[in-house]
């Protein structure tokens, strides 16, 4: 560990088998954790262990391995509840991902609570998964979709505009905790407090925060919080919707079938208790169990440490990039890393982001280029067709950033740029 970093990246990397591979004949430098994170051996092993030692359905059998599967799956929810400061597993609904969590709210809560002419408030910083479900709901119901504008630098919410929008008493305010393009960490606690003064329900999209910063849903005060396991060292196909007991109890299940019922007669049924009334059919059992192993890993390192590590890295990256000519950086800059997650989007004047990503690939570096599933932000606010993005996690270090900077020099050389 050097320069005050508290995480020993060399040790951490030993836990991630992917770092044994080469890409384009070079050791892999993975700078795309905002898209999906890499998985430690502990998570991979937990899946193999489930299938080879106690594969059985949950909530059904009373034999030993079925009870163990049920216990491990429920334990995983308990671990998640603790990680995000929820009261209990009753607040944790397992779904496929953040997208499904938000759609569940828009469909179940939205169908009952939104009427013609109601306002729904989101922002200009949203990923499509916290945007399209609200467009669909607004269309179904004849509701009005409003957007919190960004400030003049396109870095943060324009708080005056947020307050003006609140005057319309939106039924729901749904905003991202951390932007997957700008890296901005929004003050969701303050946003919730203000929204509550207007009687709004608040949903926080935690896809980019839960993996990287300590989260406490009770301290935020939101009604809903959505996240994806695959962005936080866990497997794909599993994510969670946190909801307060009050709001989840008031909602109807979206799907009917096995496991979500208490009793069924030929013409009626009653619902299972929380959170199971929202989980019809056989669950993603291996996913839930492996998510538990991912949370164990995060806890062993410590969320505070992960955040400090990424803040140092992002500062280093911004300092390095800001000193290069003809580079545009989007989102908060090096003097505002306290509100910047480990996401750095940039453009090199004169080179298309897709070409930049190709050249990075030839150096063994994985970055993403495109609209990042945030088209209104990238095309309408930033007025770009695409941007390049590097994103960091606990297995990245300054050496990775140095390699990215060298790749930028290669781009400039190839395109004869200054």
Ligand X SMILES: Cc1ncc(COP(=O)(O)O)c(C=O)c1O
Q: How many of the chain's residues bind ligand X (CB under 6 A)?
A: 14
Q: Are residues 386 and 354 in contact, defined by beta-carbon separation less than 8 angstroms? A: yes
Q: Taking the complex as a whole, how short is the minimal distance between the CB of residue 226 and ligand X, in angstroms?
A: 7
Helix ranges, 105-154 (H): 110-113, 132-141
- 53 token code pair: 């030692």
Catalytic residues: 373
- Burial class from Cβ neighbours inside 10 Å (0-12, 13-18, 19+) for residue 380 reads exposed
Rule CB under 6 A: choose which of 38, 76, 97, 192 binds ligand X. Answer: 97
Q: Rule CB under 6 A: say whether 129 interacts with ligand X.
A: yes
Rounded Cα gap, residues 102 and 109, in angstroms: 10
Q: Taking the complex as a whole, how short is the minimal distance between the CB of residue 206 and ligand X, in angstroms?
A: 8
Q: For residue 394, give the nearest of 238, 243, 233, 158 by alpha carbon.
A: 233
* Axis crossing angle, helix 188-197 with helix 159-166, rounded to the nearest 10: 30
Q: Report the residue number, 208 or 283, with the smaller CB distance to ligand X.
A: 208
Rounded Cα gap, residues 197 and 183, in angstroms: 28
Rule CB under 6 A: choose which of 207, 240, 289, 408 binds ligand X. Answer: 207
Q: Taking the complex as a whole, how short is the minimal distance between the CB of residue 391 and ligand X, in angstroms?
A: 9
Rule CB under 6 A: choose which of 46, 70, 180, 397 binds ligand X. Answer: 180
Q: Rule CB under 6 A: say whether 127 interacts with ligand X.
A: yes
Rule CB under 6 A: choose which of 103, 176, 320, 396 binds ligand X. Answer: 176
Choose one: 38-46, 127-135, 271-279, 344-352; the region binding ligand X (CB under 6 A): 127-135
> Across 155-260, where does the E strand assignment appear?
172-176, 201-205, 224-228, 239-243
Q: Rule CB under 6 A: say whether 310 interacts with ligand X.
A: no
User: Distance of CA 233 to CAs 41, 73, 337, Å?
Assistant: 10, 17, 23
Q: Are residues 292 and 94 in contact, defined by beta-carbon separation less than 8 angstroms? A: no
Q: For residue 19, give the nearest of 353, 400, 376 by alpha carbon.
A: 400
- 289 token code pair: 């169990």
Q: Report the residue number, 70 or 228, with the smaller CB distance to ligand X.
A: 228
Q: Rule CB under 6 A: say whether 337 interacts with ligand X.
A: no
Compute how many other C-beta atoms are within 10 angstroms of the C-beta atom of residue 62. 7
| DSSP H/E element including 417 | none
Q: Taking the complex as a whole, how short is the minimal distance between the CB of residue 390 and ligand X, in angstroms?
A: 14
The interface with ligand X within residues 2-21 (CB under 6 A) comprises: none
The interface with ligand X within residues 237-266 (CB under 6 A) comprises: 239
Q: Report the residue number, 243 or 364, with the smaller CB distance to ligand X.
A: 243
Q: Rule CB under 6 A: say whether 186 interacts with ligand X.
A: no
Rule CB under 6 A: choose which of 33, 46, 98, 396 binds ligand X. Answer: 98
Applying CB under 6 A, which residues contact ligand X? 97-99, 127, 129-130, 176, 180, 205, 207-208, 228, 239, 373
């Amino acid at each position: 560990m050097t320069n005050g970093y508290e995480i020993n990246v060399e040790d951490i990397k030993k836990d991630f088998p992917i770092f044994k591979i080469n890409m384009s004949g070079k050791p892999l430098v993975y700078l795309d954790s905002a898209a999906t994170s890499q998985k430690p051996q502990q998570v991979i092993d937990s899946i193999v262990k489930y299938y080879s030692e106690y594969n059985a359905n949950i909530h059904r059998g009373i034999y030993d391995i079925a009870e163990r599967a049920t216990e491990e799956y429920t334990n995983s929810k308990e671990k998640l509840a603790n990680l995000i400061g929820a009261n209990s597993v009753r607040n944790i609904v397992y779904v496929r991902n953040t997208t499904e969590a938000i759609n569940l709210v828009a469909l179940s809560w939205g169908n009952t609570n939104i009427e013609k002419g109601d306002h729904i408030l989101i922002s200009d910083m949203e990923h499509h998964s916290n945007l399209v479900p609200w467009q669909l709901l607004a269309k179904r119901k004849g509701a009005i979709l409003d957007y919190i504008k960004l400030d003049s630098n396109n870095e943060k919410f324009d708080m005056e505009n947020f307050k003006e929008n609140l005057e319309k008493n939106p039924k729901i305010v749904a905003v991202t905790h951390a932007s997957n393009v700008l890296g901005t960490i929004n003050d969701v606690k303050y946003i919730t407090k203000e929204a509550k003064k207007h009687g709004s329900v608040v949903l926080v999209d935690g896809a980019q925060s839960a993996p990287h910063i300590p989260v406490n849903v009770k301290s935020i005060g939101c009604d809903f919080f959505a996240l994806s396991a695959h962005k936080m060292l866990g497997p794909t196909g599993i994510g969670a919707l946190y909801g307060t007991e009050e709001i989840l109890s008031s909602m109807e299940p979206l799907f009917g079938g096995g496991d979500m019922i208490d009793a069924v007669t030929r013409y009626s049924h009653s619902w299972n208790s929380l959170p199971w009334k929202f989980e019809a059919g056989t669950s993603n059992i291996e996913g839930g169990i492996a998510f538990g192993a991912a949370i164990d890993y995060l806890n062993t390192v410590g969320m505070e440490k992960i955040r400090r590590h990424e803040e140092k890295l992002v500062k280093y990256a911004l300092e390095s990039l800001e000193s290069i000519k003809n580079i545009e950086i989007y989102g908060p800059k090096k003097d505002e890393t306290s509100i910047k997650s480990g996401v750095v989007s940039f453009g090199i004047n004169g080179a298309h982001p897709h070409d930049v990503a190709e050249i990075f690939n030839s150096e063994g570096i994985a970055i993403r280029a495109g609209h990042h599933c945030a088209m209104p932000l990238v095309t309408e606010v930033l007025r770009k067709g695409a941007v390049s993005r590097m994103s960091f996690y606990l297995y990245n270090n300054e050496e990775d950033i140095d390699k990215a900077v060298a790749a930028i020099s290669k781009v400039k050389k190839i395109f004869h740029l200054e």
